[in-house]
Amino acid sequence: MYPGHIPFGPSVGSNGDLDGGAYGGDVSMSQFIFTDTNEFRKAVTAGNYETDVKTFTGGRALALQSIEPTLLRTIQEDKHFVFFNKLTATNAGSTVDEFTIKTAIGGYPGSTFNSEMGDIADTQGTYSRQVGLVKFLMTKREVSVVQQSQKTLVDTIAEEKVDAARELKTSVEWASFFGDSTVNPLEFDGLFAIINTTNDSDLIKDARGKGLSYVAQEVIDLAAAVAGQGRYGTITDVFCSLAVKAAEFDQKLDPAFRTGGGNQKVGTPVDGVKTSNGEVAINQDVFIQEAEMPFAARPAPFPAITTGSAAPVAPTIAGVAGANAASKFTSEHAGNYYWAVEAISKAGRSPLALSAQVVTASGDRVVVTVTHGADNANVATGFAIYRSRKNGTNAPADFRLVARVARAAGATTVYNDDNQNVPGTSPVFLVNMSPGAQAVQLRRLLPMTMFPLYPTSKASRPWAQLLFCYLRVAKTKHIAMVKNVLPGNASWKPF
């Protein structure tokens, strides 16, 4: 050391030991004390949290980057496809999948009694041929050769393959509940559309924007209706949103109605509900949601879809209230409302269009008239109609989905809002999933398949992943629904 030198740390000897002794030797802390501020400034420091590597200088430039070697994912995994995983998959042989159902054996209870020589009544079973249409789910992925050559956290192609598989499963899971071929002919019909089309009042209960009974009355009643004469089915599973599972089953259902026994209390997760027609498993499904907001109000990437290349032109919307006998607007619901609309095309949504405020009284029907926007390359096939809270604002985040409707011929599409569908609520589906019953199945023309595509003039590896299938509900009498369920923990309340 030269005179006046003020060390900035323990010096290191030629053998690598700390100066002042061998390993275990004492190191004086006085060596770390700086008395000359100029020397202090010359100290090699770790920098000031710079993140732009090009600007790294001093000690920051010497530091190795601290990168977590695994990819941290917040995405849907296989366990989230609850309905898909429970569905029995069978193979269809053609895009038009035919099946025959028998709905009656003939006669009625007591129809066979006869006198000794009386004419014997002629009767027979009821048979009908049904048709299901296979729909085509496809996604394209592409990874450049440069990307494949790089050292990456994960194998990019493998990762993209998994993502593509999950994208297909996500579409199947969502469409199994909410697909509607009248709104988008490329979709298959899901449980909601099928139950509404069948429109059997015994198989639909309406919670009217309230919660479920604490004694599982809805589940028990619908299970009994499905088991009754003329249907002869068994409800095995309930599918509901996470919020309904938490607030309406786990935190509400009387333990006396829960399966599993043991020391169950209100708040214990509910596995199933006991009914006279068997135990019904309660499944929560992340793809059933109350909070279906307009795309403009959702987090990325949704808003960009409304302005992207696949977006149709925005329509306009107006609402006019008038008394109607079919109305389910009661005095509790009377107030000011806004309506909003998005046009739906094959792969996009239009920007959101808002109506003026409409005063709605008890017994009113609001005739919502959507005037179609000019057609561009992305022709609208349907519309998503949203409604605000009672006396709410017209901010996009204050709307929730009321219905998806097919586009009518002509310049306008009219939707009559009788308050039959309550925004901000979710349906609870009850399904016969017994494998032997074959009530609800996934019919596949093509199982999930990777189909290589060919790069024409690019250094990349493109491919498509395909799944051709549809949800076959052969026994429409074996599915039921409680609609308009508002979980007690909902932060957005429609009224």
Q: Is 62 in the site for another protein (CB under 8 A)?
A: no
Between 366 and 479, CB nearer to another protein: 366
Q: Is 362 in the site for another protein (CB under 8 A)?
A: yes
Among 409, 452, 454, 456, binds another protein (CB under 8 A): 409
Select from 159-167, 304-312, 376-384, 486-494 the region that touches another protein (CB under 8 A). Answer: 159-167
Among 31, 268, 324, 412, binds another protein (CB under 8 A): 412
Among 41, 102, 129, 151, binds another protein (CB under 8 A): 151
Between 24 and 436, CB nearer to another protein: 436
Distances 84 to 73, 132, 133, 242, 434 between C-alpha atoms, Å = 21, 18, 18, 17, 14
Among 4, 24, 69, 110, binds another protein (CB under 8 A): 69
Among 18, 76, 80, 88, binds another protein (CB under 8 A): 88
What is the C-alpha to C-alpha distance for residues 223 and 479, in angstroms, rounded to an integer? 9
Among 133, 361, 406, 474, binds another protein (CB under 8 A): 361
What is the C-alpha to C-alpha distance for residues 469 and 483, in angstroms, rounded to an integer? 26
What is the C-alpha to C-alpha distance for residues 495 and 485, in angstroms, rounded to an integer? 13
Between 144 and 316, CB nearer to another protein: 316
What's the closest the beta carbon of residue 88 comes to another protein, in angstroms? 4
What's the closest the beta carbon of residue 271 comes to another protein, in angstroms? 20
Between 100 and 276, CB nearer to another protein: 100
Q: Is 418 in the site for another protein (CB under 8 A)?
A: no
Question: Which tokens belong to 28?
Answer: 């004086």
Site map 89..118 versus another protein, x via CB under 8 A: xx----------------------------
Which of 470, 459, 465 has the alpha carbon at shortest distance from 146? 459
Task: Please enumerate in sequence order all residues whose Cβ is within 8 A of that of 301, keeping only pairs 6 or more positions apart, or say none.
Answer: none
Site map 162..201 versus another protein, x via CB under 8 A: x--x------------------------------------
What is the C-alpha to C-alpha distance for residues 254 and 51, in angstroms, rounded to an integer? 55
CA 377 to chain centre: 28
CA 459 to chain centre: 36
Residue ranges in 431-460 that form contacts with another protein under rule CB under 8 A: 435-436, 448
What's the closest the beta carbon of residue 167 comes to another protein, in angstroms? 13
Which of 199, 130, 178 has the alpha carbon at shortest distance from 382? 178
Q: Is 22 in the site for another protein (CB under 8 A)?
A: no
Between 413 and 426, CB nearer to another protein: 413
Between 260 and 447, CB nearer to another protein: 447
Q: Is 234 in the site for another protein (CB under 8 A)?
A: no
**Residue 76 half-sphere exposure toward CB, CA atoms < 13 A:** 18
Label residue 253 exposed, middle or buried (CB < 10 Å: 0-12, 13-18, 19+): buried
What is the C-alpha to C-alpha distance for residues 192 and 415, in angstroms, rounded to an integer? 18
Total number of residues that touch another protein (CB under 8 A): 52
Which of 61, 481, 486 has the alpha carbon at shortest distance from 238? 481
Q: Is 414 in the site for another protein (CB under 8 A)?
A: yes
Place of tokens 């014997």: 120
Task: Please enumerate in sequence order all residues whose Cβ is within 8 A of that of 93, keeping only pairs 6 or more positions apart, or say none.
Answer: 445
Q: In degrees rounded to 5, what are phi and psi of residue 220? A: -65, -45
CB 348 within 8 A of CB 308: yes
Helix or strand run (H / E) with residue 243 = helix 242-244
Among 60, 80, 161, 210, binds another protein (CB under 8 A): 161
> Which positions lie near another protein, rule CB under 8 A?
69-71, 77-78, 85, 88-90, 151-155, 158-159, 161-162, 165, 316, 318, 320-321, 331, 334-336, 355-362, 364, 367, 369, 371, 391-394, 408-412, 414, 435-436, 448
